[in-house]
Structure 1
Amino acid sequence: MSFIYRAGIGRLARMLLVAAAALSVSGCYFIQAATGQMELTTKRQPIAKLLSDERTPEKLRSRLEYVSAARTFASQELGLPDNESYRSYADLGRPYVVWNVFATEEFSVEPRRWCFPIAGCVVYRGYFDENNAQAYARRLRLKGMDTAVGGVAAYSTLGHFKDPVLNTMLGWSDVQLAATLFHELAHQVVYVPGDSEFNEAFATVVEEAGLQRWLASRGRLEDLNAWNDQRQRNAQFVGLLLQTRERLSALYRSDVSEEEKRDRKQYEFGVLKLQYSELKEKWNGYRGYDAWFSRTLNNAHLVSAATYYGCVPGLRELLRSVGGDLPAFYAAARELAKQTREARAAAVCEERSQSMTADGRSAASE
């Protein structure tokens, strides 16, 4: 390990620890973030070096060759950043890199937001250790909040550090692996601190467009058809969640008693599970979302749907309006990023989710 490499780790630690001391939130949280990021940095190995090393296991070599090809395509064909992100590999020895905590009030579908250096205010709080995430979620529940904890296999620092490809990602299908690379790199093109909904929807639209082009370029038409089928199922699933979110929002704004709100809240989640059972009958036995519905649901479980997909139809429409030209789409998104959050929402987000129909489509859907 070179001196420069060690110095890089030291700078990273100092940056995060100074941030911890400067902010009014718990320094312990930022210390665990610094420790987790340092772990990624110390375990990072250049993919090119691993591919040239005859000792690299063949299974790992095959996956890294695929990653390398998709990474090159991202820069050369999709106009995504040509930098050191995802050109190295790190094996963390665990199934997820971080665990995110989502939270809402008992009678609200609006997520709690946490504010951090670089990322701004986001709708989750991430931990590199699952036990810490679960402990924090328990503390929030004791305060009467709804919480959800979810493992995350991919990780991004928005280009501020040389993010590696992780072992947590390599078990995915080729399609999901390439899609994630495109999604995470898209965050480096446009990112608005404090607007998770816009950021995630933008990256999702780039992911979709990039994956379609990537699979077509490799002649993988069967994979492309299967991906389109899965995308339609996902749109239908998300449509159910957004409809439930709208009904709960109306309930929480109503004048009924808290006791009645609590009863009707549980009723709405029961309706959601029934709607999913009916939807599965149209999917020829596909059961990919069963695990998601196997738990006791609450408001916090709806946060990801609203965050990742609420603005997607409007941004898809924006991409179509520039003829599918990704650089032109990036430029248009940068202009939106200069506006206020309210103006962006009015342009590409507001009323889009409300227009979703029972099958997950909207007027702007493909």
Structure 2
Amino acid sequence: MTGTFPRAMVLGLCALLASACAGPGYYAQAVGGHLSLMNDRQDVDGYLAQAGPGDPLAERILVARDVLSYAERQLALPADDAYSQVVVTGHDAVVWNVVAAPPLSLVPREWCFIVAGCVPYRGYYDPDDAEAFAARLRQRGDDVIVSPASAYSTLGWFDDPLLDTWLDAPDPYLAGTLVHELAHRRLYVAGDTAFSESYASFVESAGVSRWLQDTGRGEQVAAWQRRKAMSAQWRQLVDRYRGQLANLYATTRPEGERLAAKAELFGALRRDYDRLRNDEWQGSDPWRWFFDAGANNAGMALVSQYQGGHCAFEQLFENSDGDFERFHQAAASIAGRDADTRARWLETPCP
């Protein structure tokens, strides 16, 4: 992990899927940024042939190849010819996503894109452009978060490259990024970020666990399982405070009172998180980015996109007897339902 955000947390959707409701300036940076990235691709075989002994990036590419082969054979994911190229950006992120929500609502703003549908963020290839857009949203009173994305997916429209922004991550996280992005190639519901991200995040969690076990990386399983247990505690904590915030926002109390109570709830969330970090996680601080970024409604929306629905997909996986092909087919069947039915299904409680 680098920076303040988890490397595999945010999907950097291909900005070439141009916004149907944005202006020409946004379209220009989206197309220009995407084409610049594509022009910098190098053939993986060529890179490996030229790499010197002990080249760290070459070693990570070989791990990525192992993950891709395993994902296609054992996780029923469409690796195909994806990631046959590599891009060396020299940066920690490739896209910066802006998420916003009203000051008294947990429902994020949405922007509509061709193909990808309406999504609760806008992506920028230049962090200064992202911050400028975020500043305009804050000026009108929104809660805003700018989230750097190290991963990048075109949902199968292009031959996605490997990126140095996440190749140097430890094995489980490198594998997690690849499995997450391949899951989007297998199943993506346009306009339903919550379902699509929850599905990909669960496939990532279950797929990496199996990859570690099957490829002789057993010594890393305990740490990965511990991280999953911490994620479950974080989900429970966020869900509890999300419920309290939703109840507060739904009241008829004066706006000033609700804003003051909101600040108290986010303060209490921070204190509860600190207790988990210090008492149970032995000082581990994986979600510090949430508080560093402002701990607001936009951050709550971002967390819910990626960590909501875990229990629903876990139950579906168990009902599929741990068979990934059956699981993907069952998930696709649920994806075919109407949006309200999918949303209710995602709220399936844990046993």
Paired residue for 1:319, among 295, 317, 320? 317
SS of equivalent residue, structure 1 residue 155: strand
Q: What does the per-residue CA deviation read over 1:149-185, in whole Å, with 9 as the maximum and x for residues that have no partner?
A: 0111000010101111111012211110001100000
* Matched residue SS, 1:80: coil
User: Which digits, 9 at most, give the CA deviation of each residue in 1:101-121, with x for residues without a partner?
Assistant: 000011100111111012111
Among 253, 256, 260, the residue aligned to 1:256:
253
In the alignment, does 2:69 pair up with 1:81? no
- Structure 2 unaligned spans of 5+: 1-14
State the secondary structure of the residue aligned to 1:188: helix
Larger radius of gyration: 1
Task: Return the structure number with greater relative CO, CA threshold 8 A, min gap 6.
Answer: 2
Greater Cα offset, 177-186 or 291-300: 291-300
SS of the residue 1:231 aligns to: helix
Letter in 2 for 1:277: D
Output one character per residue of 1:102-141: Cα deviation in whole Å (capped at 9) or x when no partner. 0001110011111101211111111111000010011011
Scaled by the length of structure 1, what TM-score is found? 0.88
| CA distance, structure 2, for counterparts of residue 282 and residue 146 of structure 1 | 30
Q: Percent identity?
A: 37
Instruction: Identify the match of residue 67 of structure 1 among 64, 69, 74.
Output: 64
- Structure 1 gaps of 5+ residues are 1-14, 356-361
**2:144 is aligned with 1:147:** yes
Q: CA deviation at 1:82?
A: 3.3
Q: What amino acid sits opposite 1:225 in the alignment?
A: A
Distance 1:27 1:57, change over 3 A: farther
Q: Aligned with 2:210: secondary structure?
A: helix
In the alignment of these two chains, the number of paired residues is 336
| C-alpha distance 206-291 of structure 1, shift in aligned 2 (>3 A) | closer
Contact 1:242 1:305 in 2 (8 A): no
Please give the TM-score of this superposition, normalised by the length of structure 2: 0.91
The structural deviation recorded for 1:339 is 1.0
Distance 1:50 1:16 in 2: 26
Query: Which amino acid is the alignment partner of residue 98 of structure 2?
Result: V
State whether residues 242 and 302 of structure 1, in contact with CA within 8 Å, keep that contact through their aligned partners in structure 2: no
Q: 1:214 to 1:284 in 2, by over 3 A?
A: same
1:7 is matched with: none
* Alignment root-mean-square deviation, CA: 1.7
CA–CA separation in structure 2 for the residues paired with 1:291 and 1:160: 31
| The one of 32, 35, 59 aligned to 1:35 | 32
Tell whether 2:200 aligns with 1:203: yes
Structure 2: distance between partners of 1:292 and 1:344: 27
Q: Is the 8 A contact 1:78 1:210 kept in 2?
A: yes
Mark the CA change 1:138 to 1:323 in structure 2 (over 3 Å): closer, same or farther: same
Shift of 1:25: 2.2
